[in-house]
Amino acid sequence: MFQTLKNFYHKLGSFPWFYKISGKVIPFAGVLSISLIVISSIWGLFFSPTDAVQGDVYRIIYFHVPAVSVSQVIYYSMSIAAAVFLIWRMKMAGVYIKSLAPIGAAFTFIGLMSGAIWGQPTWGTWWVWDARLTSTLVLFLFYLAIIGMQSTFASRKSADTAVSIITLVGVVNLPIVKKSVDWWNTLHQPASISITGESSISSEMLLPLLLSILGIYLFVFFTGLLSMRAEISTREQNKDWFKKVSNYN
Amino acid sequence: MIYFVKILKKEFLIYSRKSSSFISPVVFFLISISLYPIGISNDPDILKNLAPGLIWITVLLSTLISFQNIFAEDYEDGSIELLLASGQNLSLIVLIKIFVNWIFSCLPIIVLSMFSIFLLYLPIEGLKPLIISLLIGTPTICLFGALAGALSLGKNSITGPALMLPLSLPVLILGTQAINYSLNGINFSSNILLLTAILIFLLPIILFASVGALKLHFN
Amino acid sequence: MLKTANLSYKFDDKYIFSNLSFETTNDSVFKLVGDNGSGKSTLLKILSGIYKNYEGDLSFSEKKLVFYSGHKAGLKNNLSVRENIFFDIRLPKISYSQINSVLKKLDLIDYSDIQSAYLSEGQKRKINIACFMLSTANLYLLDEPFNNLDRKTTDLLKEIFDIKISTGAKIIFSSHDRSNEDFSLIDMNLFN
């Protein structure tokens, strides 16, 4: 068992293996994710029942919830990759962080925007400075910092190291920000509106939501693979294996 | 020892010659403080309530102007290479640089913030927590500035500010809260103690991280 | 004595040079030559301790007191020539009279109170040479010290080389010029 895991880890760290496998997986992931998104959107927008309290506005959750959840999951996965990079110096982890950061930033942005659009008709405000929204905004800032950091170092290795450190700093900082904002709010200006406590959701609404979450996750998997392949091909363009694979000579 | 005294003297001399290093934060602070009443309201009651936050935010933003002073020039002119070649303890040197930067970019603003009693109608009992919280909170912010500066050397990128602001949020909250507490007659010492704890806890960590970040540029 | 064995350095995945071995056995000045990008500056930075991620061995028989001078001189624009030398972190504590005597030799004495921002490139190099003269290190690593120098200063620099060598110090410098008048050559092209 341990040996298989170890073998898998070594394979995962190998650029040629990854390049070969991802090339095969990408078409399936692409077709599957896009069709899932289309199906769940149609289902969610037209066929699932109208919410008794919120009306049709609630349907934005089919974009909002997947976007917010995937933006956090991407960040956590990046911080695991950061730890792997710092401990075992696995180059693939650096590629992973660099490739996924823009995707994560995009989904954080979508999450923030769709949340604001949802918030206005439902709670009468675009934005609330509560712990959740503030920490999502800080998450967006960390994504930007990670993207900006890529170009500040001449050496690829140095850039990957610095970015890994920032990613880990962010993962420690995010809960602290969340806690401190929470604390500050409750002690000082109790939030007049709280966007928490979603009403229990019926299964007819839940099913398309789960489907859309699955679709977005697969979409991230698909775009993540694409962007990692692009990153690998810039980093390894002078290597023999890459020239052989891409018939570049 | 002689070596570190020499670096301290040199840093002082450089900062005192480069008048922009301490004049621009001061000017920035004065402009902002005088814009708030004009832009928001000249009603003393409103300004009084906003004053703690406004002062702290302005201090935070003015450090954004100056944090690049800590390493950027040394990186451009090759001084950091010489420091690395000297084989001396780099963290002590970085500490000296942060300290001198704090003296020139933060200390004048802290002194000037006393004028907020007149300009922003901050009640006199808010003065003590204001000064104490700034004195203890701004070194932490300078530390974050050093880390951000060390990481974003060579290129003008969004990295520095994007890193500094989220890191500084807890300090900002604790600092403004201390002043608000004292205005409402609540004991603010726990906030000051927390700010001190943050400073003591983060000092070695951020120092170590900044040195590491500096070395990453020479790999 | 400075000795390297199988010294290699790679930037990301690309070797700048590899398996470089040499010893500074005899009492001569060592001159690093090689094409652009052959790793002359990189080697000097490794020897001086700026770059630490090398492979192979590097040893110095005495306690290493390095004087490194790179492409960038480390000059502060708003300090005067004299202050720049006085506060140079590579130098031990020195007096103003020592600085003045060195500045006189380099024809910089009239500029000693002028901020270095107003000097020409050649004059800035001379400040670095002044520091070189005042240094008491035992290993000198100079990156292209003869660039931008006039005839007179070039001769002076060669004289100082002799003085330093006679005190037992080692000097390694880099140059584009392949002629080997009285220097021992280390050819970086051999280690690519």
pLDDT digit string, tens, across residues A194-218: 455 555 567 777 888 899 999 999 9
Mean pLDDT of C110-119: 89
Residue in C49, C73, C77 closest to B85 by CB: C49
Q: Is A168 on the interface with B (CB under 8 A)?
A: no
All residues of chain B having their beta carbon less than 8 Å from the beta carbon of residue A136 are none
Mean pLDDT of C24-44: 84
Enclosing domain of residue A130: 26-191+203-237
Q: Is C124 on the interface with B (CB under 8 A)?
A: no
Residue C192 has pLDDT above 80, yes or no: no
Residue in B2, B10, B76 closest to C87 by CB: B10
Size of interface A-B (CB pairs under 8 A): 72
Residue C50's alpha-carbon distances to A149, A235, B70, B208, C97, in angstroms, are: 22, 26, 20, 18, 32
All residues of chain A having their beta carbon less than 8 Å from the beta carbon of residue B191 are none
Residue A178: predicted pLDDT:
79
Tell me which chain C residue has its CA closest to the CA of residue A156. Answer: C12
Contacts of A147 (CB under 8 A, 6+ apart): A101, A102, A105
Of A187-196, B1-10, B50-59, which gets the smallest average pLDDT? Answer: A187-196
Instruction: Give the gap in angstroms from C-alpha B108 to the nearest C-alpha of chain C.
Output: 22
Residue A248: predicted pLDDT:
53
- Band the pLDDT of A38: cuts 50, 70, 90: very high
Residue C5: predicted pLDDT:
85
Residues C53 and A180: their CA atoms lie apart, in Å, by: 41
Identify the residue with better confidence: C61 or A145.
Answer: A145
Looking at chain A, the whole-number percentage of residues with pLDDT higher than 70 is: 92
Residues A103 and A224: their CA atoms lie apart, in Å, by: 7
Sign of CA dihedral B147, B93, C48, C116: positive
Looking at chain C, the whole-number percentage of residues with pLDDT higher than 90 is: 20
A101 found inside a domain: yes
Looking at chain B, the whole-number percentage of residues with pLDDT higher than 90 is: 43
All residues of chain B having their beta carbon less than 8 Å from the beta carbon of residue C89 are 3, 6-7, 10, 79, 82-83, 86
Q: Indicate yes or no: CB of A151 within 8 angstroms of CB of B216.
A: no
Residue C180: predicted pLDDT:
64
How many whole angstroms from its chain centre is CA A126?
23
Number of domains chain A contains: 1
Q: Is C68 on the interface with B (CB under 8 A)?
A: yes
Average pLDDT, chain A: 85
Residues B63 and C182: their CA atoms lie apart, in Å, by: 54
pLDDT digit string, tens, across residues B25-49: 899 999 999 899 999 888 888 998 8
Residue A189: predicted pLDDT:
47
Instruction: Give the gap in angstroms from C-alpha A40 to the nearest C-alpha of chain C.
Output: 45
pLDDT digit string, tens, across residues B111-132: 999 888 888 889 998 899 999 9
| Single-letter code of the amino acid located at A193 | I
Q: Is C90 on the interface with B (CB under 8 A)?
A: yes
Instruction: Give the gap in angstroms from C-alpha C68 to the nearest C-alpha of chain B.
Output: 7
Count of residues making up chain C? 192
Residue B34's alpha-carbon distances to A54, B22, B25, B115, in angstroms, are: 45, 19, 14, 11
Instruction: Give the gap in angstroms from C-alpha B33 to the nearest C-alpha of chain C.
Output: 31
Q: Indicate yes or no: CB of C74 within 8 angstroms of CB of B79.
A: yes
Q: Is A158 on the interface with B (CB under 8 A)?
A: yes
Q: Is C11 on the interface with A (CB under 8 A)?
A: yes
Residue B140: predicted pLDDT:
94
**Mutation target among A157, A160, A237, A240 for the C interface, most CBs of C within 10 A:** A157
Q: Is the pTM of this model over 0.90?
A: no
Tell me which chain B residue has its CA closest to the CA of residue C46. Answer: B85
Mean pLDDT of C62-69: 86
ipTM of the shown complex: 0.88
Looking at chain C, the whole-number percentage of residues with pLDDT higher than 70 is: 99
Tokens of B183: 């205005």
Residues A182 and A176: their CA atoms lie apart, in Å, by: 10
**Mutation target among A153, A179, A187 for the B interface, most CBs of B within 10 A:** A153
Of A51-55, C45-49, C68-72, which gets the smallest average pLDDT? Answer: A51-55
C33, β-bridge pairs: C187
Q: Indicate yes or no: CB of A151 within 8 angstroms of CB of B157.
A: yes
Residue in B165, B173, B209 closest to A180 by CB: B173
Q: Indicate yes or no: CB of A144 within 8 angstroms of CB of B180.
A: no
Q: Is B216 on the interface with C (CB under 8 A)?
A: no
Residue A185: predicted pLDDT:
66
pLDDT digit string, tens, across residues B132-186: 999 999 999 999 999 988 988 876 667 788 888 888 888 998 999 999 999 888 8
A224 found inside a domain: yes
Residue A199: predicted pLDDT:
52
Residue B156: predicted pLDDT:
62
All residues of chain C having their beta carbon less than 8 Å from the beta carbon of residue A156 are 12
Tell me which chain B residue has its CA closest to the CA of residue A138. Answer: B166
Tell me which chain B residue has its CA closest to the CA of residue C9. Answer: B219
Q: Indicate yes or no: CB of C53 within 8 angstroms of CB of B83.
A: no
Location of structure tokens 């990854």: A18
Show contacts of A57-64: CB within 8 Å, 24+ apart: A57/A118, A57/A121, A57/A122, A58/A118, A58/A122, A58/A205, A60/A114, A60/A117, A60/A118, A61/A118, A61/A209, A62/A208, A62/A209, A62/A212, A63/A110, A63/A114, A63/A212, A64/A111, A64/A114, A64/A115, A64/A118
Size of interface B-C (CB pairs under 8 A): 69
Mean pLDDT of C151-178: 88
Q: Which of B115, B149, B144, B145 is nearest to B130 (CA)?
A: B115
Mean pLDDT of A39-68: 84
State the pairing for strand pair C14-23/C170-174.
unpaired
Cβ-based burial of C135 (10 A; exposed 0-12, middle 13-18, buried ≥19): buried
Residue in B158, B174, B209 closest to A148 by CB: B158
Residues A155 and B215: their CA atoms lie apart, in Å, by: 12
Count of residues making up chain A? 249
Buried b or exposed e, range A78-95, using 16+ CB within 10 angstroms? bbebbebbbeeebbbbbb
A78 found inside a domain: yes
Residue in B18, B218, B219 closest to C78 by CB: B18
Mean pLDDT of C41-47: 90
Residue in A148, A158, A181 closest to B162 by CB: A148
Residues A56 and A48: their CA atoms lie apart, in Å, by: 10
All residues of chain A having their beta carbon less than 8 Å from the beta carbon of residue C11 are 155
Sign of CA dihedral C133, C135, C138, C139: negative
All residues of chain B having their beta carbon less than 8 Å from the beta carbon of residue C93 are 2, 6
CB contacts under 8 A, C 29-48 vs B, are 45, 48
A18 found inside a domain: no
Chain B partners (3+ C-beta pairs within 8 A) = A, C
All residues of chain C having their beta carbon less than 8 Å from the beta carbon of residue A239 are 13
pLDDT digit string, tens, across residues C80-95: 999 999 999 888 888 8
DSSP B128-189: HHHHHHHHHHHHHHHHHHHHHHHHTTTS--SHHHHHHHHHHHHHHHHHHHHHHHHHTT---H
Q: Is C63 on the interface with B (CB under 8 A)?
A: no
